[in-house]
Copies of this chain bind each other. A is one copy, B any other.
Amino acid sequence: MHAILDEALYCHVGFSLEGQPYVIPTIHARRGEQLLLHGSVASRMLGTLATAIPLCVTVTLLDGLVLARSGFNHSMNYRSVVILATATEITTEADKRAALDALVNRVLPNRAAAVRAANRKELNATTVLALPIAEASAKVRTGPPHDDEDDLAMECWAGELPLTLTALQPVPDPHLRPGIPVPAELTQWSRRGTDGKS
């Protein structure tokens, strides 16, 4: 479960407001048995989640297409984790800074140490939430299609198409000063390479 949470670059947070469910994508970071989320103090989502309402955080990694000989047996290979929890706000400054660093390091390993830390205004503008990874379940599908015996003789290709997230060439910021090298974490980036490094 930890490996799935650590490999995913973002999650979907579900919560209900006056009977209407909302599902919002956002960055997460795992710290031990806690999941960290953050956002603007002005965000309706963060403000709502901070009131300790029930929420659901789901992380999904798509690993491939599963092509069967019948429409019914088509599927996708994936790994997902569903966490049910309530969140609490992180309010002490040291803990909040550590959580924000963990979130920045999810964008890119070792990144927090390379950039300017949050100033007072930024700290005050950000809400950080923690929730326990306690009531959680994982689902994983791997491998070939499961076709009916009677379909195996069909004149139809069947199998898997593995999919993976890959990086293209880094695009420098138009304001980037000349002579600043691209970080090794960028040139060597791979989705699985981010495992456990945050």
A interface, CB within 8 angstroms of B: 9-10, 12-16, 19-25, 27, 54-58, 60, 62, 65-72, 74-76, 78, 80, 82, 84, 100-101, 104, 107-108, 111-112, 114-119, 122, 125-126, 144-145, 147, 151-177, 180-183, 186, 189
A69 cross-chain contacts in B, Cβ below 8 A? 115-116
Which of chain B's residues have a CB closer than 8 A to the CB of A182?
A: 157
Partner of A171, one of B20, B62, B162: B162
| Cβ–Cβ < 8 Å partners of A125 in chain B | 72
Q: Nearest Cβ in chain B — how far from A144, in angstroms?
A: 5
Collect the chain B residues with CB atoms within 8 Å of residue A118's CB.
70-72
A158 to B182, CA, bound (A): 8
Residues of B within 8 A of A23 (CB): 12-14, 23, 56-58, 82
